[in-house]
Each structure stands twice: as structure tokens, then as C-alpha cells.
Amino acid sequence: MNHIPPPAAASCRTLLADGRIATLTATRRPRANRADVKCAVPGAPQMGERMAEVVRLARLTEHRFDSRDQVVLSIDAVPAPQERDWELAAVLADRLVRGVWHCPTVPLALGWSDAWQLGRVDGHDGAAPDTEGKVVLGGGQLPHLGALTGHADPAAAVSAVRTWFPLHSGGINDTLGWVEVSVFPLDAPGLEEEDTIAVPGADAVLQQAVRAALAGARHFDGRGLGRWRSVVRFSETRFQGDSYQLALVMADRLARGREFVPRGRLVATGTSTAWHAGTVATVEGCTAKAELILREAAQGDRVLVPAAWHEQLPAGYETALRARGASLACIARIGLM
């Protein structure tokens, strides 16, 4: 079979709420250590961030992975902040320019999703215009991205797990945040493990920390590298510190079938300077975070904290957790739960 090289540029149109037709244009260029996706929306930086998030999430259910190119996306008319029908057009433009999907004409697409990482297209808001060329409508016509090429719903192959970790700042907003890891099997190994891990909506520092932690922890598995494409999402990204990392690593292990699933939530706090060795290090704020976890604990929850906390926890803490139906383990290593 002759391989058709992907185009250097591709476009997809969408219909805005005010009746204008907007064109999303995607171009490719060598990545050269740049971000995998860049979105240029003059005067609307928040939309640019959302566009990059949508594209990265939608890439999760692609079987093949190639990190050699950067895709730059732009739109020639800015939608209103509440509009979302442009999302499907962004996803299709990204796929067209990378040769993942082919269309002989410039398509027009309307659609949005609350779970792009599952390949799902929930619906569309605008009415289909009378226009030449292919029209793609999310929802009834295109319920999932697999339907673009006649494939099954890709959501069945996505394993997504959430775990919780304490967000403590010493105020009334203290709560349990969550981290969600979604993994999708790769047909062929990626070039670098960290390149296969996307963290939409996070700044560069958090993205790098997440990728390093997961790559290290998968190295500890022995055969965990080069097998997955991953997306990581947080309930809140504006936090400091690395005490979320044990929850992150455990979500990844659960998603990949490396841990037993708890009856309730898995709540964890801890970090490591050597995830590749499977070790768990302590974090600050033992008393305050332990109180927060106890206050939020529910029936069936499994709580994991660093082994160094064993002597620091308040007297009767494990008994109090057990009275709420939760269990506690103070761990020095992963892979022993």
C-alpha cells in the first residue's frame, strides 16, 4: 500500500452562533523541543488554552503516536466564550494535518464533548448550514471519533481512574482534590515515554513533573514503558508542592491494572525522589492533612500515606478512620498494596 504523506496545512470550517463561518487552520512543522500543540487565537488566550486542551485530549484514542511534529492551530474568527461547536473542527483540523483522517474537501464541523479523552462527541448546538462539501455533526451523526473511519467506539479501550489527594492551604477551602489518569494502548511504542503523556491545562512546570513521575514509576514496573498513551487531568491545577504524586502514580497503576481496586476512593499523599525505584518519601503537613483526610473519609476509602507518618499521626487515628469505614496504610514503597 502506498503511503500518502500528510499535508503541511489543513483546514476545517465551523459555524458560529452569529452566523459567521470560521475557518480553523492547522499547520505542521518539526517539533524541535517545542510543545506538541500550539494554538494562536489573537485577543483570546483562554480560548487558545482550551483549544490546545481539546486537541490533546482527543488524541488519546489514536492508536499510533508520533511526536516529531508540532501542530499550530489558528482560527480566523473568535467565537463567543460560551460557544463550543468549534471544538470538533479543531479536532478534525488536527487530524487532517497529521494524516490521521482524510477528507477530499474542506469539511464543516459542529460538535463538542465533555469527554474528548474518551473519543466521545456529545452533540452540537448550531443548525447545519446549507453549504458545499462534507458536513460533520457531533452527536447523532458522529457519536464518537472512531466513526470517522468506521471503527468501534474507542471509549471501550480507555481505562480512566481517579484518585484523591489533600489540598491544604490552612483555610476554609481545604479539600480533597482529584487526579485522573486515562490510558489507551499503543500499537507501537512511542519515541519517549514522557512524550506520550499529556497534561492539558497545566503549566510547563507541572507538566514536566507529572511526566517525570509517571515515566519513573512505569520504569519500576519493568514492562510498563512504551505501551500506553496517557492523559492526566486535575480537579485543580493551581496548587504548590508535589504531595499529589503518590495519588498520581496510584491512579496510573490502577488504570493499567497494576493494583487492586478499592471498594471506595483511593486517597493518597506522598512524593518520591526515586519513583524508578518504587520508593515513597514523606511530605510536609502531616497533622493538618491527616485531619483533612479523616474529615473527608467515607465508607470503603483506602488511605495511603508515607511510612514516615506512622509515628506522627495522632493517637487513635487509624481507629477513627476505621470507624468511618476507611482503611489506612503507611507505605515506603509502591507495588505492595
pLDDT at 191: 66
Instruction: Please tell me whether residues 140 and 184 are part of one structural domain.
Output: no
On whether residue 1 sits in a domain, the answer given is no
On whether residue 3 sits in a domain, the answer given is no
d(CA 293, CA 218): 27
Instruction: Please tell me whether residues 72 and 219 are part of one structural domain.
Output: no
In the three-class reduction of DSSP (H, G, I as helix; E, B as strand; rest coil), residue 25 is classed as strand
Instruction: Please tell me whether residues 72 and 185 are part of one structural domain.
Output: no
DSSP character string of 135-154: EEEBTTTBSBGGGGGTPPPG
The number of distinct structural domains making up the chain is 2
Instruction: Please tell me whether residues 116 and 257 are part of one structural domain.
Output: no
Instruction: Please tell me whether residues 239 and 143 are part of one structural domain.
Output: no
Instruction: Please tell me whether residues 320 and 275 are part of one structural domain.
Output: yes
CATH of residue 269? 3.30.230.10
Helix (H) or strand (E) holding 323: helix 317-323
On whether residue 4 sits in a domain, the answer given is no
Please state the pTM of the whole predicted model: 0.85
On whether residue 2 sits in a domain, the answer given is no
Q: 45-58 vs 86-97: helix axis angle to the nearest 10? A: 60
Q: Which three cell numbers stand for residue 292?
A: 483533612
Those residues whose C-beta lies under 8 Å from the C-beta of residue 296, and which sit 6 or more positions away, are 164, 175, 176, 267
**Closest-CA residue to 286 (of 191, 174, 176, 166):** 166
Residue span of the structural domain in which 250 resides: 158-331
Instruction: Please tell me whether residues 20 and 143 are part of one structural domain.
Output: yes
On whether residue 41 sits in a domain, the answer given is yes
On whether residue 337 sits in a domain, the answer given is no
Instruction: Please tell me whether residues 50 and 35 are part of one structural domain.
Output: yes
Walk along the chain (337 residues) and give the pLDDT tens digit of each residue. 456 788 999 999 999 999 999 999 999 999 888 889 999 898 899 999 999 999 999 999 988 888 889 999 999 999 999 999 999 999 999 999 999 999 999 999 999 999 999 999 999 998 887 777 789 999 889 999 999 999 889 998 999 999 999 998 777 778 999 999 999 998 766 568 888 999 998 998 999 999 999 999 999 987 778 889 999 999 988 888 999 999 999 999 999 999 989 999 999 999 999 999 999 999 999 999 999 999 999 999 999 999 999 999 999 999 999 999 999 999 999 985 5
Instruction: Please tell me whether residues 15 and 62 are part of one structural domain.
Output: yes
Instruction: Please tell me whether residues 34 and 146 are part of one structural domain.
Output: yes
Instruction: Please tell me whether residues 231 and 98 are part of one structural domain.
Output: no
CATH of residue 95? 3.30.230
